């Protein structure tokens, strides 16, 4: 799957990150010119996948195996927070698709929104102050959402149809427990692999700086609603590619 974002010439950036009691030697091709945060998302996707791979190796050395496989999509019925930068990225990608594909996606998202309207979830999802992650109301909302078993509009035949460009938070969610528990996850039954450096959280934090007073993310099913705003949040964070990456990586530990 090709991203719609055309990257300028690149420069190689090498650095090392501590991953639990292991380490990741990262080597990334980063745009050498002036870009927005949204334009370096492909780099951040690669970095996130590298971090998750390193975390997966760590749990395997402890005797655990990741249970996640293509065609296993119960987790794709959870409420997925999509950073506003990824919302912008996916908007550009959707606009790059042939008209018929855009219409088909629009129809899938409309079906999802209709399903949400049929519950009491839509007004709650449209009330951003209810999304504060540690808040009881937010946890109740996430549980109520899962209860409805509404599949992500990008889920096709129980597999992610945008796998190469899927949100960072989807990359970061892997479990070592039996998939049978994923439809009704509890702390006792579902064991996610620990991800020591969460790229999704860094993006949410940057989003909340750009859009003050918000969580920096939207519920993924409301992507087409968000698209109507014409938002370009990435433009608020611009710079040379390697500088943006450096600032991003610094935030893993801040
Ligand atoms: S989190 Fe659960 S449902 Fe999702 S892919 Fe992994 S095992 Fe399957
Ligand atoms: S974007 Fe893909 S991986 Fe993420 S919830 Fe949707 S279908 Fe699943």
Query: Bridge-partner residues for 217, per DSSP?
Result: 83
Q: Please check whether residue 14 is in contact with residue 53, taking contact to mean a CB–CB distance below 8 angstroms.
A: no
Mean pLDDT of 222-250: 96
Answer yes or no: is pLDDT of 164 > 70.
yes
User: Which ligand 1 atom sits nearest the alpha carbon of residue 182?
Assistant: 2
Tokens of 142: 């996430």
For the residues 176-181, what does the mean pLDDT come to? 96
Q: Are 228 and 18 in contact (CB under 8 A)?
A: no
- Alpha helices (H) along the chain: 41-61, 84-95, 99-117, 121-125, 136-147, 168-171, 199-210, 223-227, 241-250
pLDDT at 141 (0 to 100)? 87
Tell me the per-residue pLDDT of 110-160, one tens digit each, with 9 for 90 and over: 999 999 999 989 988 887 665 665 666 777 888 899 999 999 999 999 999
The string of pLDDT tens digits covering residues 20-69 is: 888 999 999 999 999 999 999 999 999 999 999 999 999 999 999 999 99
Q: What pLDDT is recorded for position 130?
A: 57
Q: Which atom of ligand 2 is nearest to the CA of 166?
A: 1
Residues 208, 182: contact at Cβ < 8 Å? no
The pLDDT value given to residue 66: 96
Domain ranges of the chain: 10-250
> Which of 164, 170, 182, 224 has most ligand 2 atoms within 8 Å of CB, for mutation?
170
243 CA to centre of ligand 2 in angstroms = 30
Pick from 202, 231, 224: nearest CA to 40: 202
pLDDT in tens, 79-118: 999 999 999 999 999 999 999 999 999 999 999 999 999 9
Nearest CA to ligand 2 atom 1: 166
């Amino acid at each position: 799957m090709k991203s719609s974002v055309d990257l300028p010439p690149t420069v190689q950036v090498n650095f090392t990150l501590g991953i639990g009691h292991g380490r990741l030697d990262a080597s990334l091709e980063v745009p050498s010119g002036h870009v927005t945060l949204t334009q370096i998302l492909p780099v951040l996707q690669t970095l996130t996948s590298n971090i998750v791979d390193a975390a997966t190796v760590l749990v395997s050395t402890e005797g655990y195996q990741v249970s996640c496989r293509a065609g296993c999509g119960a987790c794709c019925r959870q409420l997925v927070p999509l950073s506003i930068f990824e919302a912008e990225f996916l908007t550009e990608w959707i606009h790059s698709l042939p008209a018929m594909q855009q219409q088909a996606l629009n129809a899938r998202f409309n079906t999802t929104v209709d399903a949400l309207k049929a519950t009491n979830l839509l007004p709650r999802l449209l009330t951003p102050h209810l999304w504060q992650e540690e808040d009881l109301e937010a946890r109740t909302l996430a549980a109520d959402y899962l209860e409805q078993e509404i599949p992500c509009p990008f889920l096709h035949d129980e597999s992610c149809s945008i796998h190469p460009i899927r949100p960072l938070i989807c990359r970061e969610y892997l479990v070592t427990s039996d998939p049978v528990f994923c439809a009704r996850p509890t702390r006792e039954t579902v064991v996610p692999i620990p991800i020591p450096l969460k790229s999704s959280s860094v993006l949410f934090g940057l989003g909340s700086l750009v859009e003050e007073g918000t969580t920096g993310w939207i519920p993924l099913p409301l992507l087409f609603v968000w698209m109507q705003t014409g938002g370009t949040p990435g433009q608020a964070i611009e710079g040379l590619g390697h500088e943006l990456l450096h600032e991003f990586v610094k935030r893993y530990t801040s």
